[in-house]
Amino acid sequence: MAEEKAREKNQLRVEYCLCSIRIPVDHYEILFSVEEGEKRLQWLDAWEADERVKVILLMNEPGAYSEATYRLYHDDLVKKMAVSRKAKDSAANRLKRAREMHILQRFILKRIKSSKIYIDCLRGEVVSPFIGASLAADMRFASEDTRLVFSHLRKGPYVDGGLPFFLERFVGHSKALQILLGRDEMGAEEAQSLGLIDRIFPEKGFEQACIEEARKLCTYDAEDLCIMKRLFYHFSDELERIFHLEASLVE
């Protein structure tokens, strides 16, 4: 039933061992709505149980992860949740961030504990929480116009999505701190040079190029892929402690 609804919205494509999911611009309802968030997490569980699926691609529509879109949905939700403009705005904002953080953390943990290969296909701006979530993927493809926008210092004094945790694993402590405190954004080529992005493709034909590259992984045995992931992702307990700290900073 979930697959049928997703196909109706043209957000899901299942081909052989490959499941391609399109992330629309209005995806924030998934993060801000408990009901919608739970529904999508259940989809992940269904694909996890499907022995045919080896690779899951998440491909965002341009603008879906942008700062402008993020702020638009953030401001709209705060207005809906706030009763008064002063005392309640702060509480509404914290509740919004707590909801967002909870769903995003669960999504990330499902990715690293999954037996499937997750590939993020990034286009346009990608703000801090989704940079962290993308670093939890097994691979990252990007279009030439992709920009990693470190927007966290403009939102609040903390970073969610596990970004400090994952970034440190990629570039080391000093470089990660330098990026998080001193950079506004980073282009696709620089991100690739740091190992944050694996492949860069032109915007024209981007989706098909990602699918073709991902198909190569379908030649591997599913059990071999599962064992490989277990050897790499042995830090889930440590990550869960980091997520508890993230949540305590919001609360």
- pLDDT(152) > 50: yes
Task: Tell me which residue range forms the domain holding 203.
Answer: 2-250
CA distance 247 to 241: 10
Cβ neighbours of 68 (radius 10 Å): 9
The total of structural domains in the chain comes to: 1
Partner residues linked to 142 by β-bridges: 122, 200
**Rounded percentage of the chain residues whose pLDDT exceeds 90:** 40
pLDDT score of 172: 96
**Closest of 116, 151, 148 to residue 135, by C-alpha:** 148
CATH of the domain at 212: 3.90.226.10
Tokens of 116: 């499937």
- The whole-chain average pLDDT of the chain stands at 82
* Interatomic CA distance for residues 216 and 108, integer angstroms: 24
Which DSSP category does 216 fall into?
A: G
The whole-number pLDDT of residue 233 equals 85
pLDDT at 195 over 50: yes
Q: How confident is the model at residue 95 (pLDDT cuts 50, 70, 90)?
A: low
| pLDDT tens-digit map of 34-70 | 677 788 888 889 889 988 899 999 999 989 998 888 7
pTM above 0.85, yes or no: no
What local confidence, expressed as pLDDT, does residue 155 receive? 59
9-43 per-position pLDDT tens digit: 445 555 568 888 888 887 776 766 667 778 888 88
Q: Given the structure tokens 């004094």, which residue do they identify?
A: 157
The rounded distance, in Å, linking the Cα atoms of 116 and 217 is 11
